[in-house]
Amino acid sequence: MLVLICTTASADIPDHILEWQSLKVIEQPGDDAVVECTALRDGSGYSAVVLNVSGLGWRWSLLSLNRYGTETGRMILFTCRDVLEKWVTPVFTDDNTLAVFHGSRLEKSPATMRIYHIPSEEFTDYPLDFTSYDSVVINSAIQLVSGSLLVSGTGKDSDDETMLFTAGVDIEGNILWQSELPIGYNGFTVECVKLEELYDGSFMLTYEEDGFPGGLPVYRLGAEGQEMWEDFIDVQSEFIATPTGFLELPGGYILMAGSFDELGQMAFRGILQVYDPSLFELGSQEVLYDDHTFLTSLDYTEDGEVLCAGWTASSGYSPFEIEDVCPLMIFIDPDTGDILSYSIEDESDQTPAFIFNVGIGEYLIIGEEIQENQNDSDLFFGRVIVRDQI
């Protein structure tokens, strides 16, 4: 089981500093953000959904990249002009299938699931009929072991109440089940939701609430969304408390990661929390390297270690004026809780979005880069080798 000490971490520096073995930047006018990404199973490359904001235009595109980060194809999925009128939530179900949930931000509307069979630009739309809601926003979607999709989002009913719900959806748009959580109110707004299916078919859920959240709510839900257990991680945040995700550890233990800005500290820091199989809190640890630390992903390595990735920044007085951003990789031994950390230094500000283990000690990181003396972000594709293994 993963051992964490209940403590508030003081600022530190990563144990090791790395350099890129190779780095590819795909430049486009405007700001790019990686919304979803998957590695092809044969190792030949990657598919990524990228949101580009340029002037008053928004564009979601599907990018195909080879194993070296060279763009080999680009397909526009959605566009908006003048105002951000759409919400878009994509999920890859396999190398050749992309499911995109979408709907309107500006008016009451149901959700639609659009299926692309890559590389064809043709698609099929499946309207989704969620019971009791006049308007729906899907915030998160993952594929389950069964092949169906687990979605979570908010629905607005006829009384204008907004509720958080989960649902099972098959690949043809049929709602297999739907369940509502006992939270929500008029004006309830969710920024993001993180889901994780567990070995027994239940799943974990956490979300970021817009406003002044104060912490992170945690739920364990049954296979059809029924509430089994809940907790609240009080981090005393000021503006932001956002989840990174969950990881089920050997023996049924559960690790959760997130990030927040602590009240009055004007700095981002991460949080790691461990629960036992009965979901009793075993330990919690704040993570702070340099002046700011933000955690973006949580997964296993090929060696069975836990890799929690994100970024650090060594300058910037507040979370809204951050400079000198470097990718961060934190390796955790799941048996002892020992932590070894690495940062990757570059002249540009680089924020990782997705990280892939492609060999023992070798990783590919995809994210956004802002070059020195510039303001717009571009997609970067970096290869790094961790030479000191845990």
Question: Helix, strand, or coil here: 118?
Answer: coil
Instruction: Pick 236 or 381 by higher pLDDT.
Output: 381
Q: What confidence score (pLDDT) does residue 255 get?
A: 96
Residue 265's pLDDT band, with cuts at 50, 70 and 90, is: confident
Structure tokens, 352: 């990782």
Average pLDDT score, the chain: 91
List of residues 6+ apart from 193 with CB closer than 8 A: 139, 140, 152, 153, 164, 205, 206, 207, 208
Q: What confidence score (pLDDT) does residue 390 get?
A: 44
Residue 298 has pLDDT above 50, yes or no: yes
Express each pLDDT in 138-189 by its tens digit. Answer: 999 999 999 999 999 999 888 888 999 999 999 999 999 999 998 878 878 8
As beta bridge partners, residue 286 has 271
Instruction: Pick 266 or 273 by higher pLDDT.
Output: 273
Q: What confidence score (pLDDT) does residue 389 get?
A: 47
Percent share of the chain, pLDDT over 70: 95
Q: What confidence score (pLDDT) does residue 275 get?
A: 95
Residue 216 has pLDDT above 80, yes or no: yes
Residue 6 has pLDDT above 50, yes or no: no
Give backbone dihedrals phi and psi of 250, rounded to 5 degrees, phi first: -55, 140
Instruction: Pick 237 or 194 by higher pLDDT.
Output: 194
Mean pLDDT, rounded, for 227-255: 92
Mean pLDDT, rounded, for 291-312: 94
- CA-based radius of gyration for the chain: 20
Mean pLDDT, rounded, for 65-81: 94
Q: What confidence score (pLDDT) does residue 45 get?
A: 95
List of residues 6+ apart from 352 with CB closer than 8 A: 296, 297, 309, 310, 311, 327, 328, 365, 366, 367
